[in-house]
Amino acid sequence: MEHSTSFNDSKNNLSSQRSLASVPSLNSHAHLLNLNASHTCLATLRPHKTSYTSSLTLAGKFLYLGSSESQVQSWHYSHHRPPPPATVVTAGNGAVKSIVVHSDKLFTAHQDHKIRVWKIHDQHSYTRVATLPTLSDRVSKILIPKNHVRIRRHKKCTWVHHVDAVSSLALSKDGNFLYSVSWDRTMKIWRTKDFACLESVRDAHDDAINAVAVSHDGLVYTGSADKRIRVWRKNEDDKKHKHKHMLVDTLEKHNSGINALALSGDGSVLYSGACDRSILVSEKGENGKLVVVGALRGHTRSILCLAVVSDLVFSGSEDKTVRVWRGVEKDYSCLVILEGHKSPIKSLTATVDRSDDPSEASFLVYSGSLDSDVKVWQVFVPLL
């Protein structure tokens, strides 16, 4: 499939578009929440010599970085000392678009249509243990005609295959299931115990799917270049289709392609970032339906990535900045703007850091940009 993209790294990531005017801004009273947050840039890393960091994930004491040229690195980073040499593995072709970690397994999503599974060893070396779909999945499906689906006019393939870039991964709360979404418009569910593909939701959207998030209660959210967010849950009531996912809700409030999704810690609020320069804030209503309560505005270009830690929302943008937001009773304030990158922010992750001052909280923020740099920021936020 051919795609028209700005960064060759996310589908329909076109020039920024005007935000939907009918959605009210939640940061209209931001001046009331000016809490004098502060920040410093602790380090600038260049982990990839000829590429940029396309995905970032924190797990324990390790920072995992996926590059636009197939590399996966892990850094044991501490702002109290320089990072040691990174552990590096290379697989596939094109960007590593998403990384998740469960127990001693590392799952990576690739632009070459595959998901790879790595075993994490004690010394933080890695061994590839599977490529999804597995050989057993492919063999068991290939001989049965009903397992074949048409992907182009004259081409078919088994339903366990993604046939375009795997754009995002998410794990269920218990880690038993891995959800993957792709530019091929499908969502697939994999069992992490044996890596079997359990289900493929065909035509989950009308265009490429760029993001997926899974709540603790099992609701699954997908965001697409078709401007829609969709909500899914298992159909536990129908014995014939038990454990198959059914559509619960479709939200059409963005007016351009959706690039990123993130959930609050308790799963009650969904944040969505799009090319319309807004972050929509949606609350979970009855039966899993989403209710938009407003938008966070301030970025001047597309929102490309989001992260949520504690009561803070971090957003990375094509405008080369990271914004840090905090909400108090549905009023949000942009506490600080992290500036210093020379190109759009493509990947973002954050974690709580220890603070020596009992009156404030400290956070470490990692931002990866198309300028090939990964910046490490420390953000200090006064406690409420």
Question: How does pLDDT run across 77-99, given as a tens digit for each residue?
Answer: 776 665 666 788 999 899 999 99
Own/partner contacts of 219-222, CB < 8 Å, gap of 24 or more, are 219/248, 219/267, 219/284, 219/288, 220/170, 220/179, 220/187, 220/245, 221/261, 221/263, 221/270, 222/181, 222/187, 222/261
Question: How does pLDDT run across 302-324, given as a tens digit for each residue?
Answer: 999 999 999 999 999 999 999 99
Indicate whether this model's pTM tops 0.85: yes
Confidence of residue 20 (pLDDT cuts 50, 70, 90): low
Residue pair 119/104 in contact (Cβ under 8 Å)? The answer is: yes
* Cα–Cα distances in angstroms (integers) from residue 187 to residues 114, 168, 203, in the given order: 13, 10, 8
Cα distance between residue 91 and residue 130, in whole Å: 12
Residue pair 314/306 in contact (Cβ under 8 Å)? The answer is: yes
Predicted pLDDT at 3: 39
Confidence of residue 147 (pLDDT cuts 50, 70, 90): confident
Cα distance between residue 231 and residue 223, in whole Å: 9
**Is residue 12 pLDDT above 60, yes or no?**
no
User: How many Å separate Cα 27 from the centre of its chain?
Assistant: 24
Which domains are present in the chain? 54-303 (2.130.10.10)
Confidence of residue 152 (pLDDT cuts 50, 70, 90): low
Predicted pLDDT at 232: 97
| Amino acid code (one letter) for 361 | A
